[in-house]
Structure 1
Amino acid sequence: MTALVGRGDLTRLSNVTDRYPTRVSQVPAFIDRAEPTVWGDRAGAGMFGAQELDAHARDGFVQVPGLLSAEEVAEYSAELDRLASDPQVRADERCIIEKSSEEVRSIFEVHRISDAIGRLVRDERVLSRARQILGSDVYVHQSRINYKPGFGGGGFYWHSDFETWHAEDGMPGPRAVSCSISLTDNHAFNGCLMIMPGSHRTFVSCVGETPEDYHLESLKEQKIGTPDTDSISKLAQRHGIAMMTGDAGGATFFDSNCMHGSGDNITPFPRSNIFLVFNSVENTCVQPFSAPRPRPAHIGSRDFTPVR
């Protein structure tokens, strides 16, 4: 049965046609994106204006300075410190420790661990913008805190989140958006997020096969599911690289298929952020397209309940 992928409906069947094959060949490929980036009505209700939505459609991302107040930044920073030092949290499978140190790298499903971040998911400053971009109700596909302490916070190699969510979680199409909220000042020198503007319009098919339980390794250092250097070079030459710098409290909303990454932080200045991924309820996950089974639910949610 062939699934028809339309603007308002992505067929959610286990035998849905794979429009974005990846990890099935030893030869990488570029696939043009068919779906829109902004699904909602630009005149609809929400906190984004038409100019911001147009920028998101063009570049694949839009920044929102001052999403959080200074007082809120202080409160969430204290919450991050509390979580990172909690022995129960550190012992939880949702907590990822750096390979080269005992520092916390990420904590997943954090909106269920922390009441404060659970409220942030439902905050209209975040939620209404996600709904505007995706043009529907949304659910949380993934949430996490990323810690990048000074003097050794590890980077994230170039990748498209959608490639992983498609291959390993079964997300049919790139109708998802990430919201990265900075709790520290982001400088060009302390491992800030980098995005190739416009790269969201091209899906990069990666080589290799997904090993069993690959998430146990990839969350610390991803190798399978990252583009080859030639593909990265072509995209960079075509689109350039933008650095998401800005003051603490700012946010970046970016498309699930943006090619992005960040470098190691060897400065004394830490970088941490809250990372929330919203997926359309019309794009719910099926069986993985290129993995033996879905990743654990705390990494790729199977609860498609709309956020209210």
Structure 2
Amino acid sequence: MTDDMYPSRVGGREQIIPRKDPVIYADPADNHGPLNSTQLSFYRDNGYLIFPELLPQLVEPLREETQQLREKLAGREELVCEPHDNTLRTIFNPCGFSDAFDRFFRHPEVLPIVQQLLGSDVYRMQSRINNKPAFHGRSFAWHSDFETWHVEDGMPRMRALTAWIMLNENHHHNGPLYVIPGSHKLYISCSGETAEDNYKSSLREQKLGVPQADTMREVLRDRDIHAITGKPGTLVIHECNLLHGSPDNISGDARQVAMCVYNSVHNRPQAPFGAPRPRPAFLSSRDHSPVTVAA
């Protein structure tokens, strides 16, 4: 296995180490991508992009499809509940069960942006729908997606991102995503060790790979927290190592977002760097075929 550039959960103390990978892989000489220099610079510095109300016409069909998936996948491992009750928390792999979601995450307004940022063809490593019902949707702790994908799935380098669409309004009271702009330039090497089948509990409530309070104080010493809010149809892209989390939904409005993780075809997972075995395919796809823009 390749040397571990980003060790975490290897039994040592928690520490902050510098990022060793680029943020943007696009060829600087190639000006044919959909993102302009201002957008590329913002993503490089902050680790995310927001496209307000980019595809509102797709919201209602995707919401209807989400309800059908809840019924279609009942009893399967792809449906994950909240940590303390049976309220639905996440639907995994909607792209594998729904033509509507498959086509959305190959949409000509979405996929070319991803390809430009990652500088290559990409495959869909994971897709999911995060569900926060009114008053009952629970929080997600601060974390870097890459830390989990590296430790538990074997993703070697930081050459991946998540694209997601708001399926209803995301406002300050219904548990929006919080990000720490610029935190993607750091890597939190977490303490602890990963147990067998850790995903069975972590998908409901993540405890490993969650930075400690003193570490977060250090990260926030000269950085702010930003809430990502917007109307239905808003597209968001965030970098794989950006620290993010979300609070409980304390409002009477549900929050629902559909997400897809894209990984470069040049960054295919190896053996996990800190877990006994890889997670199931619905969390890290074994199909590394490049995805193409939907006609």
For this structure pair, what is the TM-score category when the shorter chain's length is used for normalisation?
over 0.9
* Aligned partner of 1:36 among 12, 22, 30: 22
Greater CA drift, 267-276 or 237-246: 237-246
1:176 aligns with 2:160: yes
Task: Give aligned-pair identity as a percent.
Answer: 41
* Aligned partner of 1:76 among 58, 62, 77: 62
Q: What is the aligned partner in structure 2 of residue 18 from structure 1?
A: 4
Where structure 2 has 5 or more consecutive residues not aligned to the other structure, the ranges are none
**Distance in 2 between residues matched to 1:44 and 1:117, nearest whole Å:** 29
**Distance in 2 between residues matched to 1:146 and 1:175, nearest whole Å:** 23
Query: Per-residue displacement from partner, 1:35-89 (whole Å, max 9, x unpaired)?
Result: 11111135433322221111000001111112212x31111111112222x1x41
1:215 aligns with 2:202: no
**Residue aligned with 1:269, SS:** coil
Q: What is the aligned partner in structure 1 of residue 144 from structure 2?
A: 160
Q: What is the aligned partner in structure 2 of residue 4 from structure 1?
A: none
**Residue aligned with 2:249, SS:** coil
Aligned amino acid, residue 214 of structure 2: D
Aligned amino acid, residue 109 of structure 1: N
**Residue aligned with 1:132, SS:** helix
**Residue aligned with 1:124, SS:** coil
1:67 aligns with 2:51: no
- Equivalent positions of 1:92-131 (< 5 A) are 92-131=76-115
For residue 101 of structure 1, report the CA deviation from its aligned partner. 2.8
Contact 2:69 2:94 in 1 (8 A): no
**Distance in 1 between residues matched to 2:177 and 2:247, nearest whole Å:** 8
**Distance in 2 between residues matched to 1:171 and 1:129, nearest whole Å:** 21
Aligned amino acid, residue 234 of structure 2: G
Contact 1:180 1:273 in 2 (8 A): yes
Q: What is the aligned partner in structure 1 of residue 39 from structure 2?
A: 52
Give the CA RMSD over aligned residues: 1.1
Q: What is the aligned partner in structure 2 of residue 198 from structure 1?
A: 182
For residue 136 of structure 1, report the CA deviation from its aligned partner. 0.3
For residue 248 of structure 1, report the CA deviation from its aligned partner. 1.0
Aligned amino acid, residue 95 of structure 1: L
Contact 1:24 1:208 in 2 (8 A): yes
Greater CA drift, 159-168 or 90-99: 90-99
Greater CA drift, 132-141 or 94-103: 94-103
- Equivalent positions of 1:156-305 (< 5 A) are 156-305=140-289
- Equivalent positions of 1:128-143 (< 5 A) are 128-143=112-127
Aligned amino acid, residue 232 of structure 2: A
**Distance in 2 between residues matched to 1:57 and 1:167, nearest whole Å:** 24
**Residue aligned with 1:165, SS:** helix
Query: Per-residue displacement from partner, 1:100-134 (whole Å, max 9, x unpaired)?
Result: 33221111111011110000121111110100100
**Residue aligned with 2:113, SS:** helix
Contact 1:44 1:132 in 2 (8 A): no
Query: Per-residue displacement from partner, 1:183-232 (whole Å, max 9, x unpaired)?
Result: 11111111000000000000000000000000000000010111111111
For residue 239 of structure 1, report the CA deviation from its aligned partner. 1.4
**Residue aligned with 2:188, SS:** strand
Aligned amino acid, residue 146 of structure 2: F
For residue 238 of structure 1, report the CA deviation from its aligned partner. 2.3
Greater CA drift, 43-52 or 212-221: 43-52
Aligned residues: 291
For residue 233 of structure 1, report the CA deviation from its aligned partner. 1.5
Where structure 1 has 5 or more consecutive residues not aligned to the other structure, the ranges are 1-14
For residue 278 of structure 1, report the CA deviation from its aligned partner. 0.3
TM-score (structure 2 length as normaliser): 0.96
